Amino acid sequence: MEAVKSLLKPKPTPQQQLREWQRRLRNEGRNIERQIRDVQKEEKKVEKAIRDAAKRGDMGSAKALAKELVQSRKAVNRLYENKAQLNSISMHLGEIVATTRTVGHLSKSTEVMKLVNNLMKAPEIAVTMQEFSKEMTKAGVMEEMVNDAMDSALDDEGMEEEIEEEVDKVLSAIAGETASQLPDAVRKQKEKVTQPSTSESAQVIQDDHACLAHFAIFKKTF
């Protein structure tokens, strides 16, 4: 019955199809904004945990938390980039709408094809962009393409050294109130991670590890 209904349903005009794509792109943009806000709320908690760890000289916990924070900020930057590319696709679709009024049919856009292909590599919206790719290819806006998913593997190789540098910056910025002690603590940490000797310190470190685990789990949800 649903198949019959879909056959009887009038085919949308090119302008209607483009406006529907733009509507869905705006929805995806709002979803990304919510993800960014949620991650940034969690980051505030981690920043406090880093500050507390640095104050008591526990640079092991501070660096572990700072590393997670750096990776999270990189993920947020990627989300902002994804949103900007969604906006670019919507803008190019608007240009196609104007052209369609003249020529009467949808025209191909290499820019849209390139942007959609890039977004198909983003885990947060990959499935949605694959659907867009199929629909736009069928409508004649794009040519069929093969998604190249090698970028992330290549990026990971040179990331560790960059992360270490960023971790030190995060520690210096967040633990600014103990800046006079922090450089020595950082140097000592690179030579040897000191272990807590009291039950109170052990409990605080346990709390930090719980915060780290919670933050890692939260990041996997988006």
The answer to whether residue 99 scores a pLDDT higher than 50 is yes
The domain limits of the chain are 11-146+173-220
Q: How far is CA 134 from the centre of its chain?
A: 24
Report the alpha-carbon distance of residue 173 to residue 175 in Å, rounded: 6
pLDDT at 193: 44
pLDDT at 58: 85
pTM: 0.68
pLDDT in tens, 53-94: 888 888 888 888 888 888 888 899 999 999 999 999 999 888
Q: At what angle do helices 59-103 and 199-220 cross, to 10 degrees?
A: 10
pLDDT for 204 equals 47
| 55-69, 95-109, 156-170, 199-213: segment of lowest average pLDDT | 199-213
Assign 190 a pLDDT band (cuts: 50, 70, 90): very low
pLDDT over 90 percentage in the chain = 20
